[in-house]
Amino acid sequence: MSTTCLSRFRKCIVSLAFAVLGCCLLSFGGSAAAAAENPAVTASISTETSGTANAGSPVVVSPFGPIHLVASRRQYTGDKCPIDITYTASINFKAPLPKNFSFTYHWERSDGAKTPEQVATPAGQRAMSVREVWKLGAPGQEYNASMKLVIDSGGTHVIKASPEVKVVCK
């Protein structure tokens, strides 16, 4: 192999190593500024954290797959207030789940209120749903209502936001 070819090969390997390191740092709590230097890895940023990439620290693999959060309506305009908006989260899990796996969750409303923390034990399920109903509205009031589902399990912390619901009470 010629010296020029070998030099290109080394540069290629180094570039690949930095790209992989950037993905790992983002996936495990690294800085977004470091990722901005390498646009190929910026798409890995999420609201889920699952450990750190510090030497000697344990890396926790998230047990959660995709989480989908929907509201029972997109908007409401009318004089029958208060109304109910049901928020439903479909939580998928990566298999296999550890024996006796459980997680805690609570809901945070856009008005600042929080529900009490609840414990869920999926017991071998690949997916489960959780729901929260928000009754809101008063004559002459307008709202932009949304919810966040906050999930904690060991070293994994996930926040999923709902779409906003416009409520106009006449």
Tell whether 24 and 77 lie within a shared domain.
Answer: no
What pLDDT does residue 15 have?
A: 43
Cα 149 to Cα 25, 28, 33, 69, 157: the distances in Å are 25, 21, 27, 8, 11
CATH code for the domain in which residue 108 is found: 2.60.40.10
Is the whole model's pTM more than 0.75, yes or no?
no
Instruction: Give the range among 27-31, 37-41, 67-71, 106-110 with minimum mean pLDDT.
Output: 37-41
| Single-letter amino acid, residue 68 | H
Asked if the structure places residue 52 within a domain, the reply is no
Tell whether 87 and 143 lie within a shared domain.
Answer: yes
Q: How many CB atoms lie within 10 A of CB 116?
A: 6
DSSP reduced 3-state for 93: strand
Domain span at 41: 3-45
**Overall average pLDDT of the 98-103 stretch:** 91
**Overall average pLDDT of the 73-96 stretch:** 96
Tell whether 39 and 99 lie within a shared domain.
Answer: no
